[in-house]
Chain A
Amino acid sequence: MSRNKKGLICIAAAAVLITAGLLLKQNAAVLAKAIRVCLECIGVG
């Protein structure tokens, strides 16, 4: 299988995963975490 085919298959798989995540509203979970200061991340939690 050519390199481009492998890459495109991976991108298609990524699109499926992203769509599944969006349908499950996982982007909202990412947002909820990202809009608060993560005390662990900055070393004071």
Chain B
Amino acid sequence: MSAKNENPKSEFYHDRVVTALVMLAIVWAVLGMAAGVYVAAELVWPTLDFGEPWLSFGRLRTVHTNVVIFGFGVSALMGTAFYSVQRTCHVPLFLPRLAWFVCIAWQIILLLGGLSLLAGITSGKEYAELEWPFDIAIALVWVCFGIIFFGTIAQRKIKPIYVSNWFYGGLIIVITMIHVVNSLAMPATLFKSYSLFAGAQDAILQWWYGHNAVGFLLTGGFLGMMYYFLPKQAERPIWSYRLSIIAFWAFTYSYIWAGPHHLHYSAIPEWVQSLAVVMSLILLAPSWATMINGIMTVSGAWQKLRTDPALKFIVLSLAFYGLATFEGPMMAIKSVNVVSHFTDWTIGHVHSGALGWNALITFGTFYFLVPRLVGRELYSVRLANIHFWLALAGTMLYVLAMWGAGVSQGLLWLSLDEFGELRYSFRDIMASMPPYYLLRLVAGLIFLSGAILMTFNLFKTISGARTIQVRPPAVRGAGASV
């Protein structure tokens, strides 16, 4: 890190917008997770909605998913993409004022969008609930994000485009494509529109969007984060750079067709379902290649795990990444899906990825990034270590509770009596769920308390400090084009 003053200001990396996005992501994380805990409590004590529509499960649940994915997740991805693309290109950010526009406009969309969901305004499409004015605004901001990112790459001073940029680039291109197509609708009023698609086509399109949002945002985007921040933190290059690039293309090749596994045994064509199974199973190869690549990068630096909470979070996130990307293809197999579909097993699977992979790698990245942004030591390593164990305990308890609930639901649902009729009604099955749901609530509270500790720790780290100025290296690497 450097703070020399003899260079023109334009030669410094633009990191203030990164600091803003990281701190905003932390705020969204706490708000979104708190909403998740509240809806988990509502499943134990349904009267917690107090008869208020805006406190009902249906509205708060969409607020929870939107805030954690688009508030916490996307703000973190924008911040880390801006941070890493400058450094891996050895140039300051392209159009830094546009980056500030992206940062601020995104927060306004989230704030107003969240309020619209609380008011019951929704398009009814999962993970794309916001109505058409927000859809247009999201597309515009996302295109601006792309202009900054690819503009920075275009003016890079070294020849190779580092692998993290391939993943961030894939995130920007694919999310633009699926968001625009999935959101095509005919507006009826300011807050009501009707999709251009109907029936089975609408369903296929919805999960083409839904699963690729998981693929290219929650998986690909965060892999970009991993490929940059893991080598930084481990102080070692990625174990196999060739493998990382091949895995990127294999990942992109197979992910795009996996979405219809959300629609097994439905009215969509049988061959589309079978294709989704095949593509989902193929996905196991690039996913585990990436996990092994990440774990092997830490090989030889294991001693750092004893003292470095950021690296602990990142390595643990890779273990959960391996778990979730093994479980996903298994659940896509139709004979497994017949048990898991429409049960809490799916919720457990989603959260083993969302908590274990997305949240943990972001926490680890933030513990690394925030002190470097302000040129200070982390306020408390002890608090970060406590957070690590709370996050691990919360994730494990959550996943185990939902596995128990989901497998029970699936098997009870398939249970037939001697006349071939359902042995248990839906009501019977749900009556056996409160212990699992209570465990899930406790798990959520544990995870949330860890996130609050992190918030305190990082805000204390940054309190009263300013983002320091850092320059690109004076001497270019041997692979430089200039």
A binds B: no
Binding site for B on A (CB under 8 A): none
Please report B residues at the A interface, Cβ cutoff 8 Å: none
